[in-house]
A and B are shown apart, each in its own frame.
Chain A
Amino acid sequence: MSMIVVKDLAKSFGTNHAVAGVSFQVAEGEAYGLLGPNGAGKSTTINLVLGLLGMDGGTVTVGGQDLSRNSAAVKRMVGFVPQEIALYPSLSARENLVFWGRMYGLGGERLHQSIARALETVGLADRAKERIETYSGGMKRRINIAAALLHEPKLLIMDEPTVGIDPQSRNHILETVKGLNARGMTIIYTSHYMEEVEFLCTRVGIIDHGKIIAEGTLDELRRIIGHRSRIRLRLSSNGHRVLERLRAIKEVEKVEEAAGEIVITTANPAGVLPAVTAECTENARIQSVALEEPNLEAVFLHLTGRALRD
């Protein structure tokens, strides 16, 4: 059964068609990733789904309830983690959570239990009395998530919840979200980091210029680029003769040189690697070798000719 159905969503800001007909469905218990570069229309899509922006067209149905007809019921089912840290800096983490819990109609014992559970989930129970403004970026992000969990939403919508934090905090957050999903919570996760989406999500929509340009499971998406891997090489000296020789190797599809790096595209990286190293060491020293499995970054590049991140 679908937790959320989004159909033909559209929103323009003047002549800028920020969201131009976005449709997707997320099944109950699924973790759905919305992957796209900055300005692709992820946040606008999320704001439309939450009813924070008036839509120009389209429908949103959550748990069988139409957003335009019964927004209160929809909002009760949804937890929202905004892209920005939407907390009151001068209040403590607990005070913030009390406020956000009350916004969802929680009170009394139930509120306190939810707060304890949410703090437990994000691992900040021992720091709850401190003011948000004294927190590190990563801790703020964690409370930002905790605030969305208090009313035990069926659907958790997270808009780039890891922007601008250290790798350790990011891993903590990713693990937390994975845990929530494992316990049955449906997740929509937007990001421009393909690693996050690959780690968390079972299905992904790739969004660009306000449109979903590809959608499917990770495997389905990788199939778009035919499961090709890339080998990146850095040599002490590059001669164009090396490139010619590499191109001659069997099963090597493409050899390019970019920014001092040689990029080899192949469907069989393990098979060609010995021949590649042999050709290279003949004329120069190999400074580094990297093997890139087919990933969403490559898919995006393939579809748009641009990188996910600039």
Chain B
Amino acid sequence: MKALIIGGKDLKVFSRDRTGLMMNIIMPLLLILVLGSALSNMVSDKAPSIGRFDVGVVDESGAGGSAAVVSSFREVLSQPSLKDLLNPFTMSRDEAESAMRAGKLAGAVVFPKDYAAKIMSGQPASLEVLFDPGASYLKTTILKAVAQGYNDTVLAVQFAMQEAQAQVQAQTQAQAQAQAVPAPEQQLAAEMARRAAELGQQISAKLQAMSPRIREETAKSSGVVNATQYYAITMTVMFLGFAGMTGLQSIIQEKDQRTMGRILAAPGSRLEFVAGKFLGVLFIAASQFIVLMVGTHFIYRVDWGSNWTGLFLLAAAYAITMSGLATLVSATTSNVKAAVTVWMLVIQVITALGGGMVPISQLPKSMTRIASVLPNYWATMGFFDLVSGETLAHLMPTILGLFAIGALSLAAGAWRLARDQERRG
């Protein structure tokens, strides 16, 4: 209860702070506008539209009827329902990787070793999807959906064929028949090719259902992820990172203003105080997120998708992570002012690494690799996934991971702070 009152008070104090509002609301809105228009070429260079993009098809499955299976996959991709989206090229894994490194290829679907044979013997098998981390998240999504859709159908067809075969064998007991009938992989491929049109439509329908953006795109094949949308997400993530520090600064402020002593002189524990400050950060981050989301939606027409629960959970998880880390950082240093400065710097650096300033597609691979272990990158990718229609379930690992980091570092930080307080007063 006391924690809630303290958190509410912090939100009120935040709303009265003009510089704070400028820094946390107006600044990001301006940055989104500036970056969005200045760098729109860079973003759209890479992702002019989903219109039609190149996809590698890599066959590593080896001998047998696998070539026929792979060509049935290409058959699916060339269906009218999908051919406006995808432009398949057969290539090797190396070719695909170097093309992706050069930014010339969004991704590739790999038929792994013994794919067809495994399928036919009823073993679990799946297609591998390679993608350029710098490619439009939408392309990646499409690629994954296509590979998944194909694989699911292959499994279903194989199952049906096995059932049918078992029946035939039971009835006729004719072993010689096997000679006359084409190899099972060939049968599978033939069946897949026969179903290509139907499957193409299914995948296309699924893609359209997943994302309003794809719906629009497949309808008119024009520009996707515009620069403003891109920066709306990366800047929101960056400023949620700053919010972590805001909370920390406000603890220091309570110390300086001696209001902390006064709060602690009232009945209640130190833990309630820390919890209250933490809630304050969360309230501030949540309102900042809402304002930025609604603001960019109405001012810049940014599409945030419709998964509100997902958006808020992800924003909350990320805010918790960052304020937890901020608490930990401040608790382990004696010079909090320096910690604040360093934090601000670190946030900007990791934002840059994660493509928050210059689009990921323009960055060297090594940077993206470093970024991919950072929470801000997870959050950014999570938002990209959400706005392109991914489900909450898909995002759960990210959200839970962020929550866990936040909770752990908050607990460690709070413990250090409380112990410190006790010693220093």
Measured CB to CB, the residues of A under 8 A from B are: 47, 50-54, 71-72, 75-76, 78, 80, 82-91, 95, 99-100, 102-105, 131, 147
Using CB atoms, name the residue of chain A closest to B10.
A88
Residues of chain B lying within 8 A (CB to CB) of residue A90: 13, 16-17
Q: Which residues of B contact A51 (CB under 8 A)?
A: 264-265
Q: Which residues of B contact A86 (CB under 8 A)?
A: 257-259, 261-262
Which of B2, B258, B422 makes the CB contact (< 8 A) with A84?
B258
Instruction: Collect the chain A residues with CB atoms within 8 Å of residue B266's CB.
Output: 75, 100, 103-104
B422 x A54 contact (CB < 8 A): yes
User: With contacts A47-B261, A54-B422 known, what are 7 further pairs, Cβ within 8 A?
Assistant: A47-B425, A80-B262, A80-B265, A82-B265, A91-B9, A104-B267, A105-B267
In chain B, residues 258-296, which have Cβ atoms closer than 8 Å to a Cβ of chain A? Answer: 258-259, 261-268
Contact B264 A88 (CB under 8 A): no
Interface contact A103-B2, CB-CB below 8 Å = yes
Question: How many angstroms from the CA of A75 to the CA of B265 in the assembled complex?
Answer: 6
The residues of B that contact A72 with a CB separation of less than 8 Å are 267-268
A-B CB contact pairs (8 Å), 20 listed: A50-B261, A51-B265, A52-B264, A52-B425, A54-B423, A75-B265, A80-B265, A82-B261, A82-B262, A84-B258, A85-B257, A85-B258, A87-B257, A88-B13, A90-B17, A95-B12, A103-B2, A103-B262, A103-B268, A104-B267
Q: In the complex, which residues of chain B have a beta carbon less than 8 angstroms from the beta carbon of A85?
A: 257-258
A50 and B258 form a contact (CB under 8 A): no
| CA distance in complex: A165, B262 (Å) | 21
Chain A positions within 8 Å of B9 at CB level: 88, 91, 99
How many pairs of residues, A versus B, come closer than 8 Å at their CB atoms?
70
State the CA gap A132–B265 with chains docked (Å). 21
Most buried by A among B16, B258, B262: B262
Interface-centre pick from A53, A85, A147 (highest chain B CB count, 10 A) = A53
A90 to B257, CA, bound (A): 12
Please indicate the chain B residues that have their CB under 8 angstroms from the CB of A80 in the complex. 262, 265
Q: Bound state CA distance, A54 and B420, in angstroms?
A: 11
Determine if B374 is an interface residue (Cβ-Cβ < 8 Å): no
Interface size class of B (residues with CB under 8 A): 20 to 34
Considering the complex of A and B, which 7 residue pairs feature the smallest CB-CB distances, nearest first? A90-B16, A53-B425, A86-B258, A103-B266, A84-B258, A72-B267, A86-B262
Complex: chain B residue closest to A71, CB-CB: B267
Are B265 and A50 in contact, with the CB atoms below 8 A? Answer: yes
The distance in angstroms between the C-alpha atoms of A77 and B266, with both chains bound, is 10
Docked CA distance A76–B268 (Å): 10
**In whole angstroms, how far apart are the Cα atoms of A95 and B423 in the complex?**
32
How far in angstroms is the closest Cβ of chain B from A92? Answer: 10
User: Please, which residues of chain A bring their CB within 8 A of the CB of B258?
Assistant: 82-86
A47: chain B residues within 8 A (beta carbon): 261, 425
Is B16 in contact with A52, judged by CB distance below 8 angstroms?
no
Q: In chain A, what residue has the closest Cβ to B262?
A: A86
The residue in B9, B258, B261, B265 that gathers the most chain A C-beta atoms within 10 A of its C-beta is B265
Closest to A75 in B: B267
What distance in Å separates the Cβ of B46 from its nearest Cβ neighbour in chain A? 45
**Does A52 contact B259, Cβ atoms closer than 8 Å?**
no
A85 to B262, CA, bound (A): 10
B5 on the A face (CB < 8 A)? yes
A105 to B266, CA, bound (A): 9
Indicate if the CB atoms of A84 and B257 lie closer than 8 Å. Answer: yes
In the complex, chain B residues 216-265 whose Cβ is within 8 Å of any chain A Cβ: 257-259, 261-265
Nearest-CB residue, chain A, relative to B259: A86
A-chain residues with CB within 8 Å of residue B267 when the two chains form the complex: 71-72, 75-76, 104-105
**A103 engages B263 (CB within 8 Å):** yes
List, in ascending order, chain A residues with CB within 8 A of B265's CB. Answer: 50-52, 75, 78, 80, 82
Residue from B259, B266, B423 having most chain A Cβ neighbours under 10 A: B266
Report the bound CA distance from A83 to B261 in whole Å: 11
> Within the complex, what minimum Cβ distance (angstroms) separates A156 from chain B?
12
- Complex Cα distance, B261 from A80, in Å, reads 10
Residues of B within 8 A of A76 (CB): 267
Cα(A76)–Cα(B267), bound, Å: 6
- Among B277-333, those with CB < 8 Å from A are none
**In the bound complex, how far is the Cα of B5 from the Cα of A95, in angstroms?**
12
Report the bound CA distance from A82 to B260 in whole Å.
11
Q: List the A side residues contacting B17 at CB < 8 Å.
A: 90
Q: Which residues of A contact B268 (CB under 8 A)?
A: 72, 103
Q: Which residue of B is nearest A100, CB measured?
A: B262
Assembled-state Cα–Cα distance A51/B259 (Å): 15
* Residues in B neighbouring A99, C-beta threshold 8 A: 5, 9
